[in-house]
Amino acid sequence: MPDIRTAKNVSVEQMEEGSYPSLAAAPFHPSESFPEQGHQTIASTPNSVYALVRNALAHIGLDAARFGTADWNPLGDLVKPGARIVLKPNWVLHRNQGEGGWECLITHPSVLRAVIDYAMLTKPTEILIGDAPLQGCDFPALLSLGYQKVFDYAVAAGAPLRVVDFRRTTLQRAGFGVDVREGVKPLSDYCTIDLAERSLLEPISADAKKFRVTMYDPRKMMENHRPGRHRYLVARDILQANLVINLPKLKTHKKSGITGALKNLVGINGNKDYLPHHRKGWPAVGGDNYPSFSVLKAMAEGVTDLANRHLHDKVFYRWCHRLVYALLVLDMKLGGSGDIEGSWHGNDTIWRTCLDLNRLLLYSDVEGLFHEQPQRACLTLIDAVVAGEGEGPLKPEPRRLGAIVGALNPAAADWISALLLGFEPRRIPIVSQAFMLQDMPLALFPSEFIDCRWNGCSVTAETLKQRMTSPFKASVGWRRHIEEGETPDEEAPLPKDLIQGHKTYDEFKQTHKKSRSQK
């Protein structure tokens, strides 16, 4: 099993005319014959996605010696026959909350179809496909977007396939309020893992009562995150996997700047009240919900907390949110952003939560115990055929890239993805900090050592930047901060508590060696 911490290869497969096949083409057969897939049904309409996924696997370097032959088995480099393989798409919601449509919102089913085919070449015991969408996601409606046809075809072809909704809490709009269902899955389906002082949240947890996540009671958050205790509720299906294939949708993100491989792992956790997303207040008072003091935003925060403490009182909850809406509309009319919940570049919480989850996936065994070496193989294939810009993750606008980004290392995949969006990765904490971790590191190489290949040809970061004719439109709270060439807003400097300057690879290795010897 390759060590993803040292895997520097990133493949960007891009077709200018690359687009998704129509839903009418489900289950999305390939539109050309590939020797490794044997006698397979060939689609009569174009399917460039299948070829993009195939080429991404090849140019990462998987089973390179046999590429182009009937024996090529790329995922066989990562797992042996009889393995359990988990596919983790981005299934955040069944519909775009804006007008951008669903193709820029979630991982396209044609991507899953190609990955399932290559997973089947390994002769697995099980292929599990799962995510923990937002509590308000209509899961059957989501599966109707071409996914169910893919899964039905795969099962009929002999795939040992299982589809799982990892959520323990779901929510439905009901009249004037919401209908909350808690504990829809037993706790035995999950493993509670405590990172304790090793959590990246520990340096900011002195005032832990400020931790928040949207639409959850903040009192429950305190039970799981406070000084010396940082617990996550990870699906056992994830921990039992021999290989986790991360299948994100590339989008801008209001809280984290971008969402790609690293951010996508919030979906391995069963309850969102284990996931701090921001902290109440503004930086001067130890918060990161919004940049500076605002009476209207402080009032909106207070009413939001009140509503989240009374989720089961449907009428009260709905009236609270109407008041919050009115306060934020007034804030906008008076020149404010009209947004709270940590939706800006000074959010110093969400990246810590996301990187914690990535470290758990890498170092935790089936029982949630930590080891020095990776416990399972991981692979990332990012769906950027149609990416999302603007107010992602829930209101993205479509922007065609025609690309699949492949890598073993998720931090390297996200670094290159940020460049494809026209953003400076060093200004995005979830990306930059992933290369700076000394304890339970995700990458044992600096970002400068990433080996990127564009359609099989070696390219530099500068070459990638030149390919972007114009940067993606960032979320409002990140605009004029992360775009390449912009002077960053200094109102919220990048976090200092974990940053280490590594000028050379040798210096980087020495830092890690020194860190380990001091433990």
Mean pLDDT in consecutive groups of 10 residues from the start of the chain, 519 residues: 96 90 97 94 95 98 98 98 99 98 99 99 99 96 98 98 96 70 93 98 96 87 96 98 99 98 98 96 95 93 88 83 92 87 96 99 97 98 98 97 98 98 97 98 97 95 80 95 74 46 43 45
Give the helix ranges, DSSP H, for 138-235: 139-143, 147-156, 218-224
Q: What is the tally of structural domains in the chain?
A: 1
- Whether a cis peptide bond, with omega within 30° of 0, leads into 393 is yes
Is 383 part of any domain?
yes
How many residues are listed for the chain in this entry?
A: 519
End-to-end CA distance of the chain: 27
Q: Which two tokens stand for residue 501?
A: 């300057």
> What SS3 state is found at 319?
helix
- What is the domain range of residue 425? 4-192+236-270+369-517
Predicted pLDDT at 464: 85
Is 283 part of any domain?
no
Nearest Cα to Cα of residue 277 among 334, 343, 324:
343
Is 122 part of any domain?
yes
DSSP single-letter state for residue 124:
-
Q: What span, in angstroms and rounded, lies between the C-alpha atoms of 116 and 162?
A: 12
Amino acid in the structure at residue 218: P
* Sequence-distant (≥ 6) Cβ neighbours of residue 176 within 8 angstroms: 314, 315, 318, 319
* Chain centre to alpha carbon of residue 321: 28
Q: What span, in angstroms and rounded, lies between the C-alpha atoms of 75 and 242?
A: 11
Is 302 part of any domain?
no
DSSP β-bridge partners for residue 172: 179
> What SS3 state is found at 425?
helix
Predicted pLDDT at 498: 45
Q: What span, in angstroms and rounded, lies between the C-alpha atoms of 202 and 195?
A: 9
Q: Which two tokens stand for residue 278?
A: 């921001």
Residue 307, number of CB atoms within 10 A of its CB: 22
Residue 351 burial by Cβ neighbours in a 10 Å radius (0-12, 13-18, 19+)? buried
Is 242 part of any domain?
yes
Q: Which two tokens stand for residue 484?
A: 């390449």
The angle at the Cα of 93, spanning 88 to 96, to the nearest 5 degrees, equals: 130
Is 123 part of any domain?
yes
Is 206 part of any domain?
no
Predicted pLDDT at 177: 61
Is 294 part of any domain?
no
* Sequence-distant (≥ 6) Cβ neighbours of residue 370 within 8 angstroms: 198, 363, 364, 440
Nearest Cα to Cα of residue 311 among 387, 219, 238, 225:
219
Residue 151 burial by Cβ neighbours in a 10 Å radius (0-12, 13-18, 19+)? buried
Instruction: Quote the pTM value.
Output: 0.92
Predicted pLDDT at 488: 67
In 277-326, at which residue ranges do the beta strands (DSSP E only) sit?
Answer: 278-279
**CA-CA distances (angstroms) from residue 177 to 173, 196, 272, 319, 327?**
6, 37, 20, 8, 19
- Given a contact cutoff of 8 angstroms between Cβ atoms, the answer to whether 16 and 385 are in contact is no
DSSP string, 319-376: HHHHHHHHHHHHHHHTTS----TT-STT--SHHHHHHHHHHHHHHB-TTS-B-SS--S
Predicted pLDDT at 311: 76
Predicted pLDDT at 461: 82
Q: What span, in angstroms and rounded, lies between the C-alpha atoms of 388 and 421?
A: 10
Predicted pLDDT at 171: 84
Q: Which two tokens stand for residue 313?
A: 């009182």
- Given a contact cutoff of 8 angstroms between Cβ atoms, the answer to whether 248 and 260 are in contact is yes
Residue 225, number of CB atoms within 10 A of its CB: 25
* Sequence-distant (≥ 6) Cβ neighbours of residue 322 within 8 angstroms: none
In 323-394, at which residue ranges do the beta strands (DSSP E only) sit?
Answer: 377-391
Tens-place pLDDT, residues 129-175: 999 999 999 999 999 999 999 999 999 999 999 999 999 999 877 66
